[in-house]
């Protein structure tokens, strides 16, 4: 972004804030607050850390009800929270404390629900991801929690939604994701990415009842299937999502045997669901999920069925060209990224490295990658999906950029950049596969 663009964004955000404060609709959330409380919330937003290196954090603009859209093509979620609880949530974004609220969708009211922000780095953004918890007797689509990711950094808004779709069509058990519109206290809050929670309901959808589910925690970048030794050590770097006993014995034994095995082909044939895992590796290469080698994934052990392990993707916001150097146009990350010989910025994954070190397994992976490039990761299949999403989110995307000024810029340009990534990634991978044969 050049200096002129930065200046224009700064001027625009100042102007929008001023306009919002002057034209606040009667009865709106901020209009009902004492003046000193309004000032406290604005100052709290201004104190947020910079999101980009050397960048300044834009201030939130509240869109008056009179300027909100009366119709939408997106699902509308409505959340109501007491103003004091909402202010406390905003003041302490990194807190794990939840606040009570009421959630409504298509006329059905869920009361009460509990609300907090989610994520790690994303909690420092002006527009933060939200997690909503439902009572056991009043679940939402059978799930007991709802993830609403903000998409604040994504110039196209739809990267995460598209990435989950790509994993799914590649044959990977993956969360459902869609774009939704969120109102908080009758005010437009923003355009959000709804991502299905990976839980027992998710496992049931894939006929995996009774499977063990372990979530990587990302602490110290060691959730990479290394042999951590004691069960207590695994409890530091993983979370047991399905067992009340909170045992890590099965995961401990799997990672130990992976590290000590002298016959890689035999180990993976006996212990890993090869079809699911190869599909996962291939899809990871297609979307460039570089942030999932030692965090942002789940390990599943089908204890009652196949007795085999596989991986489920998670937190796919930094995919499809979103690079660790803060750019969004990168399409040339290596096919073997995440192995010992080609570590990512956070490290490398022990399971992936062992798998791709075996010639026969690597050949199967390259064959599947090449197949998916011809069958699923194509402009003919993905561009219509991108165009549909662009059309569906267009009104909310424009409104969101006013509500939450962002260095991401114009979303239509972001959509074009996303399409360009797909074209360039296809060309890069076709050449890369040839060099690895």
Question: 134, 109 in Cβ contact below 8 A?
Answer: no
Q: Are 90 and 53 in contact (CB under 8 A)?
A: no
The predicted structure's pLDDT at residue 42: 29
pLDDT class of 376 with cuts at 50, 70, 90: very high
pLDDT digits (tens, 9 = 90+) for 157-178: 999 999 999 999 999 999 999 9
Q: Under DSSP, is residue 347 helix (H, G, I), strand (E, B) or coil?
A: strand
More confident site: 356 or 437: 356
Residue 315 has pLDDT above 60, yes or no: yes
How far is 90 from 105, CA to CA, in rounded Å?
Answer: 24
User: What percent of the chain clears pLDDT 90, i.e. is strictly above it?
Assistant: 79
Q: What SS3 class is residue 378?
A: coil
* Entry pTM: 0.85
Question: What does the pLDDT read at residue 244?
Answer: 79
Q: Is the peptide bond before 382 cis (omega within 30 degrees of 0)?
A: no
* Nearest one of 127, 20, 29 to 63, comparing CA atoms: 20
- From residue 274, alpha-carbon distances to 226, 232, 403 in Å are 19, 29, 46
* Residue of 13 and 389 predicted with greater confidence: 389
Arithmetic mean of pLDDT, 80-104: 97
Reported as a single tens digit per residue, the pLDDT across 321-349 is 999 998 998 999 999 999 999 999 999 99
How far is the C-alpha of 324 from the C-alpha of 319, rounded, in Å? 10
> If pLDDT is split at 50, 70 and 90, which confidence band does 409 have?
confident
> Cα dihedral angle (90, 91, 97, 103), rounded to 10 degrees?
-20
Higher pLDDT pick, 254 / 70 = 254
Q: Is residue 140's pLDDT more than 70? A: yes
Q: What is the mean pLDDT of the chain?
A: 87
Mean pLDDT (whole number) for 86-111: 97
Q: What is the mean pLDDT of residues 167-195?
A: 98
What residue spans define the domains of the chain? 73-150+174-206, 208-378+422-436
Q: What is the pLDDT of residue 37?
A: 34
- What DSSP designation does 170 have? T
Does the pLDDT at position 224 exceed 90? yes
Q: Which of 83, 131, 75 is CA-nearest to residue 106?
A: 75
Most confident of 4-8, 12-16, 244-248: 244-248
Largest Cα span, the chain: 71
Percent of the chain predicted with pLDDT > 70: 84
Half-sphere exposure of 26 (CA within 13 A, CB side): 0
pLDDT tens by residue, 12-64 = 333 333 333 333 332 333 333 333 333 232 233 333 333 444 444 555 666 65
pLDDT tens figures, 197-221: 999 999 999 999 999 999 999 778 9
Q: 191: which strand partners?
A: 181
**Region 1-17 average pLDDT:** 38
Q: In what order do the strands lie in the sheet with 238-240?
A: 238-240, 212-216, 297-301, 309-313
Phi and psi, residue 89, nearest 5°: -60, -45
In angstroms, what is the C-alpha Rg of the chain?
22
């Amino acid at each position: 972004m050049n200096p002129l663009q930065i200046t224009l964004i700064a001027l625009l955000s100042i102007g929008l804030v001023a306009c919002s404060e002057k034209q606040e609709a009667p009865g709106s959330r901020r209009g009902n607050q004492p003046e000193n409380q309004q000032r406290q919330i604005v100052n709290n937003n201004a104190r947020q850390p910079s999101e980009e290196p050397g960048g300044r954090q834009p201030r939130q603009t509240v869109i008056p009800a009179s300027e909100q859209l009366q119709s939408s093509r997106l699902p509308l979620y409505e959340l109501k929270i007491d103003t004091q609880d909402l202010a406390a949530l905003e003041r302490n974004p990194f807190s794990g404390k939840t606040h009570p609220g009421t959630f409504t969708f298509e006329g059905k009211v869920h009361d009460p629900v509990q609300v907090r922000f989610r994520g790690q780095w994303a909690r420092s953004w002006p527009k933060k991801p939200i997690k909503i918890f439902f009572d056991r007797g009043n679940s939402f689509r059978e799930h007991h929690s709802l993830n609403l990711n903000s998409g604040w950094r994504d110039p196209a808004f739809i990267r995460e939604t598209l990435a989950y779709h790509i994993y799914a069509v590649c044959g990977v058990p993956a969360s459902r994701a869609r774009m939704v519109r969120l109102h908080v206290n009758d005010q437009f809050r923003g355009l959000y990415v709804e991502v299905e929670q990976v839980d027992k309901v998710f496992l049931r959808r894939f006929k995996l009842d009774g499977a063990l589910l372990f979530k990587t925690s990302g602490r110290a970048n060691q959730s990479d299937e290394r042999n951590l030794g004691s069960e207590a050590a695994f409890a530091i770097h993983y979370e047991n999502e399905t067992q009340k006993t909170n045992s890590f014995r099965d995961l401990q034994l799997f990672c130990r045997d992976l590290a000590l095995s002298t016959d890689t082909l035999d180990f993976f044939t006996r212990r890993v669901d090869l079809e699911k895992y190869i599909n996962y590796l291939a899809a990871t290469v297609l979307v460039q999920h570089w942030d999932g080698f030692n965090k942002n994934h789940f390990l599943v052990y089908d204890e009652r069925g196949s007795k085999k392990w596989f991986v489920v993707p998670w937190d796919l916001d930094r995919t499809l060209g979103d690079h660790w150097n803060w750019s969004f146009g990168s399409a040339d990350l290596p096919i073997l990224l995440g192995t010992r010989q080609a570590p990512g910025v956070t490290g490398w994954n022990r399971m992936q490295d062992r798998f791709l070190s075996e010639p026969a397994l690597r050949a199967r992976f390259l064959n599947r990658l090449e197949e998916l490039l011809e069958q699923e990761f194509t402009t003919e299949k993905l561009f219509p999906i991108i165009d549909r999403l662009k059309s569906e989110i267009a009104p909310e995307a424009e409104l969101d950029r006013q509500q939450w000024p962002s260095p991401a810029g114009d979303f239509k340009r972001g959509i074009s950049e996303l399409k360009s990534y797909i074209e360039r990634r296809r060309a890069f991978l076709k050449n890369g596969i040839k060099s690895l044969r």
